[in-house]
Structure 1
Amino acid sequence: MNDRQVLDTRNIALVGPYLSGKTTLLESFLSVTGAITRKGKVTDKNTVGDSSAEARDRAMSVEVNVASTEYQGIRFNFIDCPGSVEFLQETYNALMGVDTAIVVCEPSSDRVNTLSPLLKFLDDWEIPHIIFVNKMDRACSGDACHAPAFRTLLQALKAVSKRPLVPQQYPISLGSELTGFIDLVTEEAYQYRANAAPNRIALPKELAELEKAEREKMLEALANFDDRLLEELLEEINPPQEEVIEDIQKELSADQIVPVFFGIADQDYGVRPLLKALLVEAPQPEVTIAHRQQLAIYAKEGYAKEGVETSIAQVLKTYYTPQGGKLSLVRLWLGKLTDGIVLNGIRIGGLYRLMGGQQQPVSEVYAGDIVAIARMEGIKTGDALTSVPNAIDPLPIAIASPPVFAWAIAPEKRSDEVKLSATLNKLCEEDPALRWEQHLETHEVVLWGQGEIHLQVAIDRMRRKYNLAMTKSVPQVLYKETIRKATSSHGRYKHQSGGHGQFGDVYLNIHPLARGEGFKFSETIVGGAVPRQYIPGVETGVREYLSKGSLGFPIVDIAVTLTNGSYHSVDSSEQAFKQAARLAMQEGMKQCEPTLLEPIALVEISIPNEYTSSVLRLVSGRRGQILGYDAKDSWQNWDTVSAYIPEAEMQTLILELRSLTMGVGFFNATFDRLQEVPEKLASAIVGS
């Protein structure tokens, strides 16, 4: 293992809500570090991030983008992650392979709840993270208001973060303009310069007392995890700068604190201080490995055990490119990768660094790096890759988000149906939050995902990448029929057309079963009234009829008993008895009071508790039966609402739920039972 390479790498994810400015921050990082000579703009569709056509059409990230750069002897691999909740699975998968995450947010206390799921994920997985408050020029509109707005925002952030926030800067304003900051570690003041490094200035006298108070708060927060620093504070000893930085680095690496910075990314304000923090405070790859127990054990014992240097990597993202085929974005945890190395029994087709949509071939990379590997067929996102077979058990992966929105899709051209399944499988490889299925009853292909935009992006990719134009519609609800009454029926099939005829004669008892029992067939034939070889034909005829009842839907929860019949020694056949059974069912079902059933889902809705009352009204308005609500386990200030909701009312539930909760509400739904449809609604469904 090449220690120098491990120590000289930082893998940083840029995460945060939609429109917080992550892609703009990436452009600024690349510009400041000299990776690009001219910054792009999202509105101009020329940024390194958001490189796909689907992203640029919508001016938003729809998948992770990677960009590598070097700065002061350190290689930075930045992963720009989508902010929309509909693409959050992309973010979660990428976070499993980084050393630090920068959580980008706006200076709006009203939007803090949008950070809840993301911060919860980071804390659950103990991923070190820094908050960068972007767009600080929008923090206020009056005089000298940036500092109060910043304090208000920090107070709001504390309500959604399990880890203590540790601001390392204090804003300097001139009227309504943010002009600079005070570094609370060095106690030095700086004035911003557009697209240039900030100038050091004298600390404003009017802020001297405030600076001391804010620095004291920072040191007290750090002292909660460092007894030596606590003793120094109690003895009123001002700790040296090096000791403070060491404490921040140690506590950030252990995900004990969350440093906070601010700036204006599109002017490069605050970007260089943030880069400096990544250089000196963010954990190095070997520190990340030390915190991953499974990897730490192998790093310590694995090489000696195997007798050879073993390479271990993990797939963070899968791409299918129009020119190069399949690319697997991997984090190399241990060892090194060389062009042509065999991983999991597959010889790789090339090593590449990614710069947005561009690929740069490399011959070898070392532990701690993030690169793309070509043509790893059969390998999916989350898989562990090793150069020695069975060297390590599967590595932890982000749990796939349950699907919440669906469309029925079909190719515009009938001739394209043959390539539909292969295309959908590739889409689901690229994006594990997608799922597809084919309903046998309706013959629909149903594509599931995280929302309307998510599925539209998938359909756009099908058209652009695979020349497969699709239509979409609301999936059919899988209604069923059942019966309320029992009856007896008779069916006789007699057909003569020259030669042997066809004859079958059956008597059936039909009666309802309890909900969920399905279908039962039995017979009580005595004396050979229906020969044994013809009874299977009777059951087949009954089953065929049940596929579509008088209301137009499959029939369930029904029992049919063959009680009697007659046959002809020459003209009877299994086919004739099948037809006789169908006739008996058709006649008998008219007397059984058929009724319509609809699928009911058990739904658990998770929301910040300030929205609970609104969600209860939402459920009631969708014919839902509320079972109750309670505090959501391990989620601060969140509730879970449990309810039964008809699946017919579920199609747009996620859209309205997100509208009510600033995009953060989510639910899990599972099929629970079939239930009779209200009479008036049933008449409308059958008549449609």
Structure 2
Amino acid sequence: MGQTMRSPRGPRCIALVGPFQSGKTTLLEAILARTGAIARAGSVDAGTSFGDSSPEARQHKMGVALTAATTTFMGESYTFIDCPGSIEFAHDMHAALPAVDAAVVVCEADERKLPQLQIILRELEDLGIPRFLFLNKIDKADARVTEALNTLQPASRIPLVLRQIPIWNGDLIAGYVDLALERAFVYREHMASEVIDLGGGDRDREKEARFSMLERLADHDDALMEQLLEDVAPPRDAVFDDLSRELREGLICPVLLGSAVRENGVSRLLKALRHEAPDVAETASRLGATGSDASAYVFKTSHLQHGGKLSLARVLNGQFRDGDAIHASSGEAGKISGIHALISGSDTKRQQAGPGDLVAFGKLDAVKTGDTLSNGKAMPAKLVEVLPAPPVLAMALSAADRKDDVKLGQALLRLNEEDPSLTIIHNAQTHDIVLWGQGEMHLRVAQERLQERYGVAVKSHQPSIGYKETIRKSVTQRGRHKKQSGGHGQFGDVVLEIAPMPRGSGFTFGERVVGGAVPRNYIPAVEEGVKDGLAKGPLGFPVVDLTVTLVDGSFHTVDSSDMAFRTAGRIGISEALPQCQPVLLEPIHTVEIVCPTEATAKVNAILSGRRGQILSFDTREGWSGWDTVRAMMPEAEIGDLIVELRSATAGAGSFTRTFDRMAEVTGRLADQIVAANRPAAA
């Protein structure tokens, strides 16, 4: 007796997620080949895979954006979303996960990747997404599967339940026993596994492992518990129903074995998805898409070189037709111009899309990633809030050719639409365009896309640090501007009192002029001139935390003007500042780092080596095996902190930072900073 027969449920969407280099794209290739969507599986290393097909992905041999592909298995439609494994490109995964019905977590028994695995499983748990774990590279396993499970279990807050055990041929795994189906299979490379008779020794192992699996299921099924206590074999269909129910309710995470590169275990994975993964109706209910109008969730935006803008969306309920007017949860409106579906890896147009379909809507220019769409008359409620992770690394950009300045700005806006985890900031002080991202590779790929996709070559350099300067001493200084060159001349004369103020006070301007020494209508011009002089002090940086008071001066009835008094104010402050004992200030930030506990000592050493003052470290709330470290650090030392941090934490650590205060820098370090700034300022 096999699994219960039922009618097809409609299109389902499955995410392939997992740590960096766990084999997700290779598994997608194996699935597409096994289901006949492609003639044969491609190779990531050879650059022939359907997934990771962008020039940047091929060049770096890693996923840098999600890939979606639709195929059919046993008469049912499935769209698989291959999500990048690197934490630097995780925003695509964050945005896509709410739209999927289930996830396949691809991993291997590697302790070094446990922190990355824990991050992914934690997100799936928080979103309430059912998940299978596909223990990949089983052909290279050097440990028993039960040992591998013990290694991986700390990454999951729910039990990892082994669904299969391997059949060994010496030191090699030759096949597996399906504990739910109670059948043995031998692997055949690039082909479906073949059913074989179960040998005596393997039969004993199967009974023990199956009982262990049933015990896990019985934790949430009293009837099954009674059967086990009474030594009654439960019906096979009841076991499958329990597996399906407990998966959907987030009580267990079933574990399947395989080798994506050899296409081993792929058919059994697909059958598990077919029988046990929920459909779009449950996903729509989870997201709260329960209205009568059609609704869809946009999880990715793409700009094609010749096809315009595409909004990748999952239809949750109702029907969308080509030409439909739509409303977005952001308040924007538009009209669908083309509905595209990824069928067997090709871009296929269709006239409509219904519940469960994953499609790309054409030319919805005002729609952004994260929007909910409806073709009803009212603006839909926003179903999903996807917030990009705080940026951790920056580079300043400029067009290599000045005539491309406008083109660069437009290209950056499109890049940001495609990838909201990029942040673009125009630094008013330095006039730099600063691009913030999630890491070194993230910014490198963004720069490559500007060149490859938009034809904009850029130059990059380290962003300027927000140094400032202040004063320690009060002085009184006259500023006088007099110029006569025939006709009306220029005359302005002011006396300024300059005094330091407490840190963080900024700048204030006042006046105590008596007797009309400086007419009142010229006083605002004096203030503007002082501000001009404060833009760059004697050390080369903006001057802050001081007060300037206009106390006296003189004017000429013919030659005085706003410009003359503005110039006098600038001269006065510029001549006064070198006498005020100027001192350099640097920005200090509060930095909060999250890292695996075993890396905390390394992180503390990194902070100390970067002039960091460690404030505290404690266990990360709600995260087993993680710590949170808080420190004060100069902005100048944070620049490439993420590169060293990721190296020390196997790619899993990250941080946030908040500006705290400006602090004095003295001695040799101050001299070095001032000297380094002079060539750039010249």
TM-score using structure 1 length: 0.95
Deviations 1:581-639 (A, max 9, x none): 11211221111111111111111100111111111111111111111011111212211
Alpha-carbon separation, structure 2, partners of 1:395 and 1:6: 27
Q: Report the alpha carbon displacement of residue 207 of structure 1 after superposing the two structures with TM.
A: 2.6
Native 8 Å contact 1:11 1:78 kept in 2: yes
In structure 1, the partner of 2:672 is 684
Which residue matches 1:86?
A: 88
User: Partner residue of 1:224?
Assistant: 219
TM-aligned CA distance change 1:687 to 1:391, over 3 Å: closer
Residue 281 of structure 1 deviates from its aligned partner by: 1.0
Structure 1: gaps spanning 5 or more residues: 141-145, 304-309
Query: What is the match of residue 382 of structure 1?
Result: 370
| Residue-by-residue CA offset, 1:87-128 (whole Å, 9 max, x unaligned) | 011111111110011110123233222212111111111111
Give the alignment partner of residue 43 of structure 2, picking from 29, 41, 44. 41
Partner of 1:646: 634
Report the AA paired with residue 66 of structure 1. A
| 2:173 aligned partner, one-letter code | L
The match for 1:251 among 241, 246, 254 is: 246
2:493 is aligned with 1:493: no
1:445 matched to 2:445? The reply is no
CA distance in 2, matches of 1:606, 1:435: 22
The answer as to whether partners of 1:107 and 1:136 remain within 8 angstroms in 2 is no
Q: Distance in 1 between matches of 2:651 and 2:198?
A: 41
Q: Say if 2:130 and 2:247, in contact at 8 Å, map to a contact too.
A: yes
Q: Match of 1:333?
A: 316
8 A contact 2:135–2:255 mirrored in 1: yes
- 1:365 pairs with one of 353, 358, 366: 353
Residue 184 to residue 600, structure 1, CA distance change in 2 (3 Å): same
1:179 aligns with 2:181: no
Q: Secondary structure at the match of 2:77?
A: strand
1:229 shift after superposition: 1.8
Give the corresponding residue for 1:674: 662
**Structure 2: gaps spanning 5 or more residues:** 1-5, 328-332, 677-682
Q: CA deviation at 1:248?
A: 1.1
| Residues 88/506 of structure 1: CA separation in 2 closer, same or farther (3 Å cut) | same
Q: Do 2:112 and 2:650's aligned partners in 1 also have CA atoms closer than 8 Å? A: no
Q: Deviations over 1:348-400 (max 9, x none)?
A: 11111125873111122210111111111010000000011335311123321
Residue 15 of structure 1, aligned match among 6, 13, 17: 17
Note the C-alpha offset of 1:678: 3.7
Corresponding residue SS for 2:615: strand
Measured in 2, the distance between the counterparts of 1:607 and 1:678 equals 33
**How far does residue 428 in structure 1 lie from its aligned partner after superposition?**
0.4
Counterpart among 129, 132, 135 of residue 134 in structure 2: 132
- The answer on whether the counterparts of 1:602 and 1:644 sit within 8 Å (CA) in structure 2 is yes
Residue type at the aligned position of 1:280: H
Query: C-alpha distance in 1, partners of 2:574/2:286?
Result: 68
Root-mean-square deviation (CA, aligned residues, Å) is: 1.5
8 Å contact kept, 1:330–1:371: yes
Distance 1:441 1:110 in 2: 43
> How many residues align structurally?
666
| Structure 1 runs of 4+ with >6 Å offset | none
The SS at the match of 2:198 is: coil
How much has 1:234 moved relative to structure 2?
2.5
CA deviation profile, 1:6-56 (whole Å, cap 9, x unmatched) = 822221111111211111100110111111112211122121111211111
2:191 aligned partner, one-letter code: A
> Is 2:600 the partner of 1:612?
yes
Question: How far has the Cα of 1:232 moved from its partner?
Answer: 2.1
Match for residue 115 of structure 2 among 90, 113, 116: 113
Q: Distance in 2 between matches of 1:514 and 1:137?
A: 67
In structure 2, relative to structure 1, the CA distance for the partners of 1:425 and 1:356 (3 Å cut) is farther
DSSP-derived class of the 2:133 partner:
strand
Match of 1:276, SS state, is helix
1:22-37 correspondence runs (5 A): 22-37=24-39
What per-residue deviation string (whole Å, max 9, x for no partner) do you get for residues 51-98 of structure 1?
Answer: 211111111111011110011111010011111111011111111110
Alignment match, 1:575 = 563
Alpha-carbon distance, 1:228 to partner? 2.1
**Partner SS, residue 240 of structure 2:** helix
3-state SS of the aligned residue for 1:485?
coil
What SS does structure 1 have at the residue aligned with 2:26? helix
Structure 1 residues 157 and 536: alpha-carbon distance in aligned structure 2, compared to 1, 3 A threshold: same
Q: 508, 523, 530: which is aligned to 2:496?
A: 508
CA contact 1:66–1:355 (8 Å) conserved in 2: no
Partner of 1:159, secondary structure, is helix
Q: Contact 2:8 / 2:75 at 8 angstroms: preserved in 1?
A: no
Which amino acid in the other structure matches residue 520 of structure 2?
R
Q: Which residue of 2 aligns with 1:307?
A: none
* Alpha-carbon separation, structure 2, partners of 1:239 and 1:357: 42
The residue correspondences of 1:177-576 to structure 2 (distance < 5 A) are 177-292=172-287, 294-295=288-289, 298=290, 302-303=291-292, 310-344=293-327, 345-354=333-342, 358-390=346-378, 392-576=380-564
Note closer, same or farther for the CA distance 1:286–1:151 as it changes in structure 2 (3 Å cut): same
Q: CA deviation at 1:464?
A: 1.6
Deviation at 1:235, TM superposition (A): 2.5
Aligned-residue offset at 1:515: 1.3
In structure 2, do the counterparts of structure 1 residues 368 and 640 end up closer, same or farther at CA, with 3 Å as the change threshold?
A: same
Specify the alignment match of 1:586 in structure 2.
574
Deviation (angstroms), 1:237: 2.0
The equivalent of 1:306 in structure 2 is: none
> Matches of 2:132 and 2:513 in 1, distance apart?
77
What secondary structure, in the 3-state scheme, does the structure 1 residue paired with 2:662 have? strand
C-alpha distance in structure 2 between counterparts of 1:568 and 1:290, whole Å: 79
Secondary structure in 2 matching 1:633: coil
Identity rate of aligned residues, in percent?
46
Report the counterpart of residue 72 of structure 1 in structure 2.
74
Counterpart amino acid of 1:587?
A: E
Distance 1:649 1:6, change over 3 A: farther
Structure 2 CA distance for aligned equivalents of residues 389 and 217 of structure 1: 54
Shift in CA distance, 94/358, structure 1 to aligned 2, threshold 3 Å = same
**Structure 1, 82-91 or 383-392: larger mean CA deviation:** 383-392
What TM-score, normalized by structure 2, do the two folds share? Answer: 0.95
Residue 5 (structure 1) shift:
10
Partner AA of 1:332 in structure 2: V
Inter-partner Cα distance in structure 1 for 2:345 and 2:254: 31
* Structure 1 range deviating more: 86-95 or 578-587: 578-587
Instruction: For residue 14 of structure 1, give the secondary structure of its aligned residue in structure 2.
Output: strand
Amino acid at match of 2:499: H
Of 158, 163, 179, the residue aligned with 2:158 is: 163
Cα contact 1:5–1:366 (8 A) shared by 2: no
Q: Which residue identity does 1:241 align to in structure 2?
A: R
Partner letter of residue 179 of structure 2? L
